[in-house]
Structure 1
Amino acid sequence: MSDIFSRIEHSRTADEVIGQIETLILEGVLRTGDRLPGERDLAQRFEVSRPILRDALKTLELRGLLVTRHGGGTYVADVIGQVFSKPVMDLISTHRKAAGDYLEYRREIEGIAAEYAARRATPDDIALLDAIMARMDEAYDSGDFEDEAEIDVEFHHAVGECAHNIILLHTLRSCYRLLSEGVFRHRLLVFTLPGAREELLAQHRAIYMAVKAGDPAAARKAAMDHIAYVERSMAEAERTGDWQRVSRLRLRQRAGEHELQRKRS
């Protein structure tokens, strides 16, 4: 975080500080839960007095963008979580149609994000994607489903950031929030399907390569194909789970019948 704050060039007022921090939050540089540097350090970076900084931070806190926690420290508030409130998230998690609608929406919006990313990604963006792709390869080699799923979300976050569209960025973040909150609990089942891990890795690599090559059409197609595959796989995983549940009940029932017959004989 040492390089994201810059000195206030002109009037050195609270409004200037407020504007810079708001922009960092809006552009996704500062994320929910990020801790700001201490008051003295931050005032030095902005080159403003500590009273001016305090006024700015207080205003941002009143606007709901920052929060001060017990034990000290100022953090970026949970502005993304307000898009899907807890009651709405609970409703989504208990209605099966919502999962399908969620993926249908993501298929279209992630296609746009990947297309924009291929057009607009900077060398720094590509360096970030390089690092995430390397970690994805490592997670695949380790065979840790939860680790793979976590990096999966991080990868899509990064592609959204590479699109350099503020509205798209925050819309996608609100979508991914549903994943990180475990609203779609059966999504990990996708990784257990035969060949799914290999296929998912190849699909992410196709998105990554298209963005890196600056090919918008290929990036959009790769992203949409990926979500379409996830849609099919989640449906299959859910059916497989149901089949396993029914098979297990049948087995228990048959075992019970055999035990009853044995006792009667």
Structure 2
Amino acid sequence: MLIAQISDTHITAPGRKALGDRVDTAQALKRALDHILGMAVPPDTLIVTGDVADHGQAEEYDHFRMLLAPLSLPLLACPGNHDDPALLKGALAAMDPHQGQWSKGPTLDVTMDLGSLRFVGLDTTVDGAPHGQIREHQLAWLDSRLAEAAFLELPVVLFLHHPPFTTGIAHMDRMGLRESDGLATVLTRHQGRVVRLLCGHIHRHISTLWHGVPTIVGPSTAYSVSLDLDSQASATFAFETPTLLLHHWNARESTMVTHTVPIGAADGAFPCET
């Protein structure tokens, strides 16, 4: 199974750009989707790890839906701190490829079984704040979904917007996931069940092992947060090569491999000569 991950698309209303009219996020997303549509082996699903819209406005989600119209993949997304969870849910529910089931709680949590995998998404947003949080009812719901997955012998891909660990980019870490101990406890209780934890928020590709779970932060399709590990550094961004991630799940070997895929034209492919 092949899982495409994009993150932090920050889609604006048509005719507008992000970051002081400097970043055409819609064009950046279109390039990413064109790349996915042109793949010789198409992904089986697409996951968007938050900050779908730039200001959480209805016209931005309408624009997002229009941009994704050519795609006919099962689509899952979790909200980020720039999103309005209710508006995001409405946009996703109106898209034919969306096949997830929402939780019955007040947060926008979702699950979907596809092939030999279970996907679980958590809403880490805090109304009016940039940092993230997971509530007690979400931990109970996640615990139930993981227990059920164990009974069904399904490995789980868990995704959320805010990374639960410190990245070293201080101004972003101050907006990270707070009180992550509860999530760590649930994952430890179901050790080995979650084969990938996918996040967004940082606008950089980052990987680590967090409480025994391989954890990947997906880069933004639009722009990168500058890699500055000075604890006093101010927030700046850069136009680095836009990138998406592909996660390849081998059910027979129970292994998942993550590939970094630069978006855009490149010379090749050429035959390798010996």
TM-score by length of 1: 0.23
Structure of greater Rg? 1
Report which of the two has the higher share of strand. 2
From the two aligned structures, give the one with the greater helix fraction.
1
